[in-house]
Amino acid sequence: MVDKREIIDDIAENGCCDFAFNTKTLKQTPVLIVVSYVKGICGFEKDGSYSTDKKEGWQMFDAGVAAQTFALAAHAQGVGTVMLGIYDAAYIQEKLGIPQTEEVAVLLAAGYEKFTPDAPTRKTAEDVLRFV
């Protein structure tokens, strides 16, 4: 039987690119979700050409939407999540046996919140969006 805690701790120590916040977060999380996608599917036509000028970037868009939807569904059940974008994808892929036909898109640490942190000040929609 695989010890999931040992795997999460190993990824925390060796798969976070020495980024202290992610290491600390993973050391505390009871659950780690690794979101990956199959390469060459989203944003590609059947002949392998790109569907849009976003090229292979479309795959990350879809993975991000999936991760956000998961996080929102978890929140609705009282489970907190943190999306981690700084990681060693090759290390995690090898550690977890993710096939080379897939790519790691994002890590989600999940668990029941011990406290609800204060939200940081955010920019307004007018600051970050342009309506035409």
The pLDDT, as a whole number, for residue 7 is 96
CB 104 within 8 A of CB 87: yes
Q: Which residue has the tokens 């060796």?
A: 14
Counting every residue written for the chain, the total comes to 132
Please indicate whether residue 93 or residue 53 has the higher confidence score (pLDDT).
Answer: 93
State the helix-helix crossing angle for 4-14 and 89-96, rounded to 10 degrees.
160
96 pLDDT band, cuts 50/70/90, is: very high
Distance between CA atoms of 48 and 41, rounded to whole angstroms? Answer: 9
The pLDDT, as a whole number, for residue 117 is 78
Question: Distances in Å between the alpha carbon of 52 and those of 102, 104, 105, 122?
Answer: 20, 22, 20, 31
